[in-house]
Amino acid sequence: MASQWETLCSLFTIVIEIDAAGDVVRSSSLVEERFSRVTDTTNNFFEVFTFKRPVHFKGGVKGALAVDSRLFLGYSDELQLAIRGQIIASDTQSDGCIFAGVPWLGWTRERYGEASLSAAAFPAHDSQMDQALFMSTQQRMVDDLQELNEELTQAKERVELLGDSRQDFFNRISHEVRTPLTGIASALTLLADLRLGDQASELIALAESSVERAVEVTSFALDSAASGSNDISGLATSVDLQHLISRSQHMFIPTARAKGIELVSKLDPDLSVNYWCNQQLIREVLINLLSNAVKFTDVGTVSLSLSVGPSDDPNIDVLTFSVADSGPGVPKDTRDRIFEPFETGLTVATRDKKGTGLGLSTTLKHVRALESEMTVATSEFGGALFSFSIRARPDATKILKVEEPHTEQAPLRFDQHCLLLDDSATNLALNAQLLRTMGFTVTEVKTGEEAIRTCRSFEQEFDLALLDINLPDISGYQVASALRQLPQCQRTTLIALSAYSQDEEIQRAKDVGMAGFIKKPFRRDDIGPVLAALLANDEQQMAVDADAGDTKTNVVAEGFDHDAFSSMVDALGIESVSMIAEGLVREGRDNLKELSSGVDTNDIESAERAAHTLASSCQSLGMMASGHYIRELEHGFRSGNKIDQSMLTTANDLFEADLTQLQSAVKALSYA
């Protein structure tokens, strides 16, 4: 009876017997001839040959025998030979194996260019075996690809699951961190109402500023970490840099005053408009630089300056921010090193100062996100001078005016009934008291189920429902959906309260019928105008929805609403309203042109967007006739109704008529 070796050699051209260590014991003539060509190669089969298949094969006799009936595709650049076949256990070598197969002709010719190695050189049965192995190879490749695809799919699902867990974690952390800040902010607001004296009021104002700063830093850190991205560049907004510098400097006034340091700002006289830039990053940089300057300066001056210069683009200006101090300065040999993480840059003159060495490294990261670099020099006061420049486009629609001395205004007054839902007993009590100081009648509930039961049992409607989103029983979104089904809540303005405000959260609030989204913690002076606007918009929307029918005939002839205009003036001041009104002259007419162009070109999305923007602007300033009519046009676009140019002419006429009344009202109050 023929041995295993003899049988395999009669069937296959490539037969190689391998011992337990992986060394070649004997081989068929073709392989033996290839080995004889090279004298300095290893005799280890798994080192001489590199395998393309199986996909996860790592080499070695044990690994080869562990692969069940798999096709092996291998090649050796040293032997200039490619092979394909299977590996089976050897019956003569203990723990050894045998490779049995045929030359991989296609790979050998393509890689090594051996025309002499052809199918004609082998017996006919070998060619038939090669064809069979070729077909097996294709199927195995398909199987391998399917297996790999399944593994990739599973990996993708694991990554998505980890991403969801990460987001849930940061949402929870965000909620837990911001919840006590909400209580502090509300308590400070209520303390300020007690009129405890000038010194106490100043301390309360400082505490409020510190809470506001803590919220900004917390939000920035948590939102950046939650995104899992190194991109912190963010979006550009229209920024009043004069106000930004004033706010950044204000929080250091008490420390500077205690140390006897003069804190000054120098603004370029050419700074006359807003600029499109990243307010968050600029503020972070300025605060870090000011913090260092005040810390390292014991006597003298700390100066924050902003200069405006031209760029190579006539539509872009170069803005240079500088923080200078009269402290000990930064030695030239340490100026590059101070931006490294954990490098404090302390010298003999500053060794009594404390720091983690992370402030400037983080600041430099922010500056580079602004596409700039930080420079360090000696200031005019003999201390340190830190500067960076950014390129920014002016916003000519937002003209700056000289800031008038701040005068405290009384909070807006309301007479509506409000349902307040919050699972934090502290925040619930404090915010309920805060809302009551604004005139609201407040009903407090701690859970979503309690909110639903309370609304169902009340005979009168709630005008407003402020719903915390993160609850222990059901979410605020589920509460909003349930309330929308109750007859008692058909006219209730639903507003989401949340410590985190990602875009998807805001969209979910919209999807369940919420009118607005307020991020916690909030200040009374900030939410008053917001609540007034949301309540007014909901009432106007209900009036429009109730007046269904042909868009062309639904003209609201309410004219100019002096009460709405007065409320806006009370909330923002006549100067701010005057600026808004001036901007509306041009922006409103631009919106009307965009609306008309959208109708002409059948760009319904652009037309609907322009109508939405203009209607909101008009209604907020008391221009009800034009605001209501343009709002109806917006709903007409959304519903697929035909809007023609005659309707746009009506909208234009109503807008100009309302605008005349608005300008008259502004003029009357400006000269009062």
Length of the chain: 672
Start-to-end CA span in the chain (Å): 121
Higher pLDDT, 588 or 141: 588
**pLDDT for 63-73, tens place per residue?**
998 876 678 88
> Strands (DSSP E) along 461-604, which ranges?
464-468, 493-498, 516-519
Half-sphere exposure at residue 665, Cβ-oriented, CA atoms within 13 angstroms: 24
Please check the confidence at residue 216 and state whether its pLDDT lies above 70.
no
| DSSP annotation of 488 | G
pLDDT exceeds 90 at position 617: no
Q: What is the mean pLDDT of residues 201-222?
A: 64
* DSSP 8-state symbol, 251: T
| Span(s) in the chain for CATH 3.30.450.260 | 4-122
SS3 track for 321-360:
EEEEECCCCCCHHHCCHHHCCCCCCCCHHHCCCCCCCCHH
Question: Is 294 or 617 the better-scoring residue by pLDDT?
Answer: 294
40, pLDDT greater than 50: yes
40 or 234, greater pLDDT: 40
Q: Is the pLDDT reported for residue 323 higher than 90? A: yes
Q: Tell me, what's the pLDDT at 503?
A: 62
Q: How many CA atoms lie within 13 A of 86 on its CB side?
A: 19
Provide the token pair at 512: 């369940």
Of 343-347, 465-469, 567-571, 650-654, give the lowest mean pLDDT range. Answer: 343-347
Q: Which residue has the higher pLDDT, 571 or 544?
A: 571
Residue 327 to residue 346: CA distance in whole angstroms: 13
On whether the pTM is more than 0.75, the answer is: no
Predicted confidence at residue 557, as pLDDT, reads: 32
Say if residues 527 and 496 touch (Cβ distance below 8 Å): no
* Separation between Cα atoms, residue 156 and residue 169, nearest integer Å: 20
pLDDT at 385: 94
| Residues 287-296, mean pLDDT to the nearest whole number | 87
- What pLDDT does residue 57 have? 84
Q: What does the pLDDT look like over 96-147, one tens digit per residue? A: 999 988 888 777 777 777 555 655 555 555 554 555 555 455 555 556 656 6
What's the half-sphere exposure (Cβ side, CA atoms, 13 Å) at 288? 24
Q: Which part of the chain has CATH 1.20.120?
A: 547-670
Does the structure show a pLDDT above 60 at 344? no
CATH architecture type of domain 417-522: 3-Layer(aba) Sandwich (3.40)
pLDDT at position 80 is 87
Kindly state which CATH superfamily the domain 241-397 is placed in.
Histidine kinase-like ATPase, C-terminal domain (3.30.565.10)
pLDDT tens, position by position, 255-276: 788 788 899 999 888 787 789 8
Residue 576 is which amino acid?
S
Asked if the model's pLDDT at residue 48 lies above 70, the reply is: yes
Could you confirm whether domain 547-670 is CATH 1.20.120? yes
pLDDT at position 435: 87
pLDDT tens digits along 156-174:
777 767 766 665 665 556 5
**What is the per-residue pLDDT for 474?**
85
Region 602-606: mean pLDDT is: 83
Predicted local confidence at residue 305, as pLDDT: 94
CA atoms within 13 A on the CB side of 536: 25
Torsion of CA 582, 587, 592, 597, to 10 degrees: 160
pLDDT at residue 577 is higher than 60: yes
- Mean pLDDT for the chain? 76
Residues forming CATH 3.30.565.10 domain(s) in the chain: 241-397
pLDDT tens for residues 404-440? 444 444 556 888 899 999 887 767 877 888 888 888 9
Span 646-658, average pLDDT: 83
Where in the sequence of the chain do the CATH 3.40.50.2300 domains occur? 417-522
Instruction: Give the 3-state secondary structure of residue 465.
Output: strand
Residue 182 has pLDDT above 70, yes or no: no
CATH class of the 4-122 domain in this structure:
alpha beta
pLDDT score for 443: 93
Q: Distance (Å, rounded) from C-alpha 296 to C-alpha 360?
A: 14
